[in-house]
Structure 1
Amino acid sequence: MDLHFSEYDTRLAGYAVIVNDSNEILLSWFNGGGEPSRALWTLPGGGIDYDESIEDGTVREIREETGFDAELLRPLTTHSFTEKRRGGRPFKGVQVVYLAEIVGGTLGTLEVDGTTDRAEWISVAALSRIRHARIIDVGLDAWRAERAQQR
């Protein structure tokens, strides 16, 4: 399907890969947004508001979802996908994934009546055993590739 940009809806989102010294990744629990069957673990982050930069929006989302203040170190990768939504216009999601580190705050979701119920540090090795969003795999693949290049 070859569509002009004006013929589909786009959502820009920013996410962060934050891995601690114990090889645990910071994740947030997406509650499914009213559809419990869609609930899963995801990277902290989300939609960027119209009037904010992708960097500012990503830092805001990390704080809302995890309680932590974060510093974005650098972009790791981008990911995009398309889907046809029921009864709606075609949709394209564009996701920018950053490498980030915690610089303050306390673990605890600050979002009220939102789609994030909690945040946790989860072992990277345990990811294969839990329900999680593809963006985690995308971000970790980029993180691992960067670490391999540094060796």
Structure 2
Amino acid sequence: MDIRIAAYAVIIHDGEILLSHWNEHGRSAWTLPGGGVEGEEHPATTVVREVREETGFDAAVDRLLGIDTMIVPAGKRLHGTAPLYGMRVVYRAHVTGGVLRNEVGGSSDEARWFPLEALGSLKTVSLVDVALQLNAEEPADGVPSPLWPQARELR
């Protein structure tokens, strides 16, 4: 089994959430800005770097919200031949500077603010639901409570 650790930011300002459009190998959906830990990088460093790369904004971490895990079966992976254990570290963060722009040459192709009430009409990855639940509940152990089954899949 392969392992991937990634860090993501929940950034909400004036009733809007900052999302990044993931677009890779014919699959696409809106997700939180974030991505994989590189080398010896700490996830808190990763999330700040990834927000900058994917959105153009500088960000600061406010707090750790929790950690979500998932298994991607080998047959559903875009890369690799073994199952993937994914660990997704979710932080609440805020923008400290920069200018909104789209990532070039990465797995995302657009960044945009969306009103929170518009999320239901967007195609999002399950991480968005998990992260918003963590943001609302702030569980002491950082473990998200179970979501309804359809929320765990790509909408």
Provide TM-score, normalisation by structure 2.
Answer: 0.83
Shift of 1:124: 0.8
Aligned-pair CA distance for 1:94: 0.2
Superimposed CA distance per residue, residues 87-136 of structure 1 (whole angstroms, 9 cap, x where no aligned partner): 71121000000000000100002x33111111000011111111001111
AA aligned to 1:39 is: S
Q: Which deviates further from its counterpart, 87-96 or 9-18?
A: 87-96
Question: What is the correspondence of 1:71-82 to structure 2 with a 5 Å cutoff?
Answer: 71-82=60-71
Larger Rg computed on CA atoms: 1
Instruction: Tell me whether 1:18 sits opposite 2:11 in the alignment.
Output: yes
Tell me the residue number matched to 2:32.
Answer: 43
In 1, Cα distance between equivalents of 2:73 and 2:131? 24
- Among all aligned residue pairs of Structure 1 and Structure 2, give the percentage whose two residues are the same amino acid: 43
Q: Which runs of 5+ in 2 are unaligned?
A: 139-155
Aligned to 1:5: none
Alignment match of 1:142 (pick from 114, 121, 134): 134
Q: Deviation at 1:70?
A: 0.3
- The alignment status of 1:92 with 2:96, answered yes or no, reads no
- C-alpha RMSD of matched pairs (Å): 1.2
Counterpart residue type for residue 92 of structure 1: Y
Q: Distance in 1 between matches of 2:82 and 2:25?
A: 21
- AA at the equivalent of 1:29: H
TM-score (norm 1): 0.85
> Which segment is superposed worse, 62-71 or 87-96?
87-96
SS at match of 1:63: helix
Unaligned 5+ residue runs, structure 1? Answer: 1-7, 147-151
**Aligned-partner SS, 2:12:** coil
Distance 1:132 1:83 in 2: 17
* Count of residues in Structure 1 that have an aligned counterpart in Structure 2: 134
Q: Which amino acid aligns with 2:17?
A: I
Structure 1 residue aligned with 2:19, among 21, 24, 27?
A: 27
Q: Counterparts of 1:13 and 1:77 in 2: how far apart (Å)?
A: 12
In the TM superposition, structure 1's runs of 4+ consecutive aligned residues that sit over 4 Å from their partners are: none
**In structure 2, distance between residues paired with 1:90 and 1:114:** 23
1:145 positional shift: 1.9
Looking at structure 1, the residues matched to 119 and 44 of structure 2 have their Cα atoms a distance apart, in angstroms, of: 26
Counting only pairs closer than 5 Å after superposition, residues 121-136 of structure 1 correspond to structure 2 as 121-136=113-128
CA–CA distance in structure 1, aligned partners of residues 28 and 73 of structure 2: 20
Q: In the alignment, what sits opposite 1:60? A: 49
